Amino acid sequence: MAAQGEITFARKASGLVRGLSLWDAFGVGFMNQGLTPSIWVMISLGLGVYLGGNLIIATVISVVLAGIGFPLVWGILGGSMPRSGGEYIYNSRIIHPLIGIGESFGNAFIWLMWIYVLAPWMADPGCVMLADFLGWKWLYNADTNQFFSVLPYNWGTFVIATITSIIAFFFVVFGVKIFARVQKVVMGLGLLGAAIIVVVLLAYGKDDFIASWNALAAQHGSLEYHDFIAAVSEAAGKDMPTTWNWYDTFGVMVAGSWLFAYSYCITFIAGEVKRPDKSIILANLFAILLPGVFMILTAVGLYTLVDFDFLSATAWLDNNGTDAIAGYTLPWSPHFVGLAAVVNQNPVILFLMAFSFLLFTLWWVALSYLAFPRIIFAWGMDRMGPKWFTDVNPRFASPVKNYLLCFVLAEILIAVYCFYLPFQEQGLSVTALEIFSVFGVTAIAAAIFPFSPRARGIWEASPYRKWKLLGIPVVTLGAIVNLAYLAILAVFFFFQETKLEEFTLATGMLILGTWAAGLLWYAFWSWRARRTAGISTAMLTGELPPE
């Protein structure tokens, strides 16, 4: 079998090194949840659409479902097949290589999308938030809509996004050990800022907030507390709800998935983690629980600080833009960090709160650079792509060529986003693509893993093969819970009661398009493997690639 493997795979060894600890793996999963910006997404994009959502209940449901489903699905698959490259390895071995490439092709595009969607967020809302809080008009001037006093909005966004992409590239290109050291620093500072936001929200009461808001409104000639609610209700064409309902609470979970569904990023570096049988599953679990704690504390603080209808009004306005109503002239948007800034305007605290948003967003981009190159690396190992996909720099144990390809593609897409398609809802489009193409397909693979004839040898060697509950493999039960969570997200994404019908239709076409491209990719490279090496796809995916 080993001799056959040497002939079959593109390399005799991956060249990647197992140098990451449980703590490092947790950092990858946790940082890919993007704590501060994801809380903003859950509130502004989630509550901004589903106005009657209860943030606490939505978080508890999400933590329970995601906290069971994702660690069991991705932890058991990753621990059973500890190779870098993510779900392509699992789906190609359990279901079929055609499905593996079709799904993985979409996920490769997803990671590029994350770069071109999130790198511009460093400019807006990141640098915009920082500039608004501290009055740094040299960074961003809202009156002229310019960055750095000279660059128009789209050019300034492009420059900041490009700088972000370059920094993220250098964080990962020199190998995972250097990456892990930097990650600890970024994570620590990001958590500090997020903790300060929570403390500020919990430290003040509703009377304090209303007095501070009205004083700030008087200073800037803006709407007072109760007038603000009325103005937003008029602009939205309906009264802001004064209490929550179940339908909107489930709807908020779609945007809230950014906090709980993305620790799976750990599996892209599974071949570089020590003790993957324990580290991957535990790191996934802890990377879901910690954001859950922060989100609940944030929600408790917000519900204590303002009325329910006021919070819904702020989410609606931040989601639709501050120019959506007349009379709002406060110096920053009323997102959740902005609400904290209303009651505490200490410049150091303001800086650390905004800096937390920037740090987590920056690391999102860095993790995209970590994932995309390892996806195509896994393809290359199976001869499902050019052989140079498997090139690893011996000094850094890093696929440098793949990083360079990622940078070039990302830079092209950033330019397209900044100059031609600059709408933030594309972030939710990526979420939908992952729900169906990545999470859904992989959950199905996990459910049938113990019963798949293709993966019988892998399952029999799995450290989890004896994990059963009432005679049913735990991985199958975890997959069922995972699919239930994904079903909620899918329904409330495509049937949201907004004017985004064209957007959701375009997202559906994007899902079909990436699958079609992936199937064409598979057809070509499977034909080429047979023609040049006489190797069938069944032989390629009949065993795990070498470490």
Residue-level pLDDT at 20: 80
Q: 205-217 burial by CB neighbour count: b if 16+ within 10 A, else e?
A: eeeebbebbbebb
Determine the average pLDDT of the residues in 95-123.
Answer: 90
Closest CA to 367 of 68, 125, 37, 94: 37
Residue-level pLDDT at 496: 63
Query: Dihedral (C-alpha) 370, 373, 377, 380: value to the nearest 10 degrees?
Result: 170
pLDDT of residue 9 exceeding 70: no
Residue-level pLDDT at 500: 56
pLDDT of residue 412 exceeding 80: yes
* Cα distance between residue 446 and residue 424, in whole Å: 32
pLDDT band at 425 (very low <50, low <70, confident <90, very high): low
pLDDT band at 8 (very low <50, low <70, confident <90, very high): low
Could you say which DSSP state residue 398 is in?
B
Q: Is 34 helix (H, G, I), strand (E, B) or coil?
A: coil
pLDDT of residue 5 exceeding 70: no
Burial class (CB in 10 A: 0-12, 13-18, 19+), 304: middle
Tokens of 346: 């200490």
Q: Which of 102-116, 241-255, 391-405, 517-531 ranks highest by mean pLDDT?
A: 241-255
pLDDT of residue 96 exceeding 60: yes
**Cα within 13 Å of Cα(168), Cβ side:** 34
pLDDT of residue 286 exceeding 80: yes
Residue-level pLDDT at 365: 96
Chain segment 358-380, per-residue pLDDT in tens: 999 999 999 999 999 999 988 88
Higher pLDDT, 69 or 535: 69
pLDDT of residue 227 exceeding 70: yes
Alpha carbon separation from 77 to 222, 281, 454, 514 (Å, rounded): 54, 9, 15, 24
pLDDT averaged over every residue in the chain:
89
Q: What are phi and psi of 473, to 5 degrees?
A: -55, 135
What is Dmax (Cα atoms) for the chain?
78
N-terminal to C-terminal alpha carbon distance within the chain: 15
Higher pLDDT, 424 or 158: 158
Residues 486 and 253: beta-carbon distance below 8 Å: no
pLDDT of residue 44 exceeding 90: yes
pLDDT of residue 4 exceeding 50: no
**Cα within 13 Å of Cα(140), Cβ side:** 24
pLDDT of residue 216 exceeding 90: yes
Tokens of 543: 């065993």
Could you say which DSSP state residue 401 is in?
H
* Cα distance between residue 132 and residue 192, in whole Å: 21
Residue-level pLDDT at 424: 60
Determine the average pLDDT of the residues in 321-332.
Answer: 93
pLDDT of residue 1 exceeding 70: no
pLDDT of residue 435 exceeding 90: no
* Cα distance between residue 110 and residue 227, in whole Å: 42
**Which domains are seen in the chain, by residue range?**
18-491 (1.20.1740.10)
Least confident interval from 216-220, 229-233, 420-424: 420-424
Q: Is 542 helix (H, G, I), strand (E, B) or coil?
A: coil
Helices (H), 204-343: 206-220, 225-236, 246-256, 276-305, 308-320, 336-343
Residue-level pLDDT at 243: 97
Determine the average pLDDT of the residues in 97-107.
Answer: 88
pLDDT of residue 508 exceeding 80: no
Residue-level pLDDT at 160: 97
Chain segment 236-283, per-residue pLDDT in tens: 999 999 999 999 999 999 999 999 999 998 988 887 888 888 899 999
* Cα distance between residue 83 and residue 106, in whole Å: 19
* Residues 443, 447, 450: CA angle, nearest 5 degrees: 135
